[in-house]
Amino acid sequence: MSTMKAVLLDRSHQPPALRLTEEYPRPHLVPGKLLVKVKAFAVNHADVMTRKGSGAKGPAPIADIIGIELIGLVVGVSSELERARDVSEQRTGPQGARYRSGDIVAGVMGGLGRFCNGSYSEYALLDPDCVSAPLPVGDAAQISTSTLISLAAIPATFLAAYGVLVTSLQIQPEDTLLVHGASSSIGMATASLAKHLYNVKKVVGTTRDAGKAARLKTAGFDEVLVRPHQDDSSIEEQAKSIKEAAEEMAGFTAQVDLIGADHIPVALACARSPGGARVCQAGMLAGAYFCTEPFSPMAIPVGVYLCGYSSSFADHLNPLRELVTAVLQKKLPTNVDKVFRIEDVPQAHEYYERSTRCGKVVCLID
């Protein structure tokens, strides 16, 4: 039996612990699947929540191996998914893409790391529904380590940021954008896309850590507002403080809230009203998936549109080739904070949870 390195979720501990093994059974190609040699992956908030036995909703995870995203080399293709050698492919897996061994692809979401084994391993067996189109990276054998690191920082984070900005907020260059939770990976990616690709007029972010301001401005924020760890003032007072500090007393035309459901009233109070302002609730950094205080849709200000975003919709993989191209052309920073190896995944999780982290945590596999 062939084996591989993998980082297992050891549920004999409470909370579950991460344990490296070199003797986990290597997956074999089966009909309807792709076998991918994992080259790199990133640590995500969802991984940490799964490790701790918590999550937004739904049944408990059953996978031995966590990890919701990867960059990898296709090494096995089920016959019905294989394309001819001389045919190019720009469709994603959900769109009916065909693959060949040697393709570099991203695998992201689709139950990875929860209901099927995820990315923290040398090989992964992937359903095409979670696989990108082959990425435009040239000869797979010539990809540098630095390029792999950049690629690993893109899939889950930048696809989410793209979806929030383009699909949900329909961002425009004339917008004034406020990101609540700016120092999260998605917050930084949102700023990078807004400023470097979509030329948004003004991008403002909130953080609890003044020491991260310079790094956040490098990502794309024009202004960084330092907010208290706990603010007991009223919703109206909090919103007034934010708008005054940003010199946007009329309110923002677009907002991304990554803090959680209980923070929605503050974001709504920061919106320009009336005038077609949009607010997207897209994260739960503070852990609140549901509102713990009463909230009525009737409280939404006049002319303000409240929406959400989820990577579960069918076309969420489509922008990945565009994003990868922008990164390879040095048009888009990927905001990588620190790089580990697969042997050091427990330390990577520990680092991820430090308050000093600012950006993506990436892990490489030899």
pLDDT in tens, 93-104: 889 999 999 999
Delimit the domains of the chain by residue range.
Answer: 3-153+335-364, 157-308
157-308: CATH topology is Rossmann fold (3.40.50)
Tens place of pLDDT for every residue, the chain, 366 residues?
799 999 998 876 666 689 999 999 999 999 999 999 999 999 998 898 888 876 555 566 678 999 999 999 999 999 999 998 877 889 888 899 999 999 999 999 888 988 899 999 999 999 999 999 999 998 888 899 999 999 999 999 999 999 999 999 999 999 999 999 999 999 999 999 999 999 999 999 999 999 999 999 999 999 999 988 778 889 899 999 999 999 999 999 999 999 988 889 999 999 999 888 999 999 877 666 666 677 778 788 899 999 998 877 668 899 999 999 999 999 999 999 999 999 999 999 999 999 889 999 999 998
234-240, long-range: CB within 8 Å, 24+ apart, which pairs?
Answer: 235/265, 235/266, 235/269, 236/269, 238/266, 238/269, 239/266, 239/269, 239/270
Cα distance between the two ends of the chain: 21
Q: Specify the pTM.
A: 0.92
**Phi (first) and psi of residue 196, to 5 degrees:** -90, -25
Question: Which amino acid type is present at position 129?
Answer: D
| Beta-strand relationship, 123-126 and 34-43 | antiparallel
- Average pLDDT of the chain, as a whole number: 91
Residue labelled with tokens 């990976």: 185
Query: Per residue in 302-347, pLDDT tens?
Result: 999 999 988 776 688 999 999 999 999 999 999 999 999 999 999 9
Domain 3-153+335-364 has CATH 3.90.180.10: yes
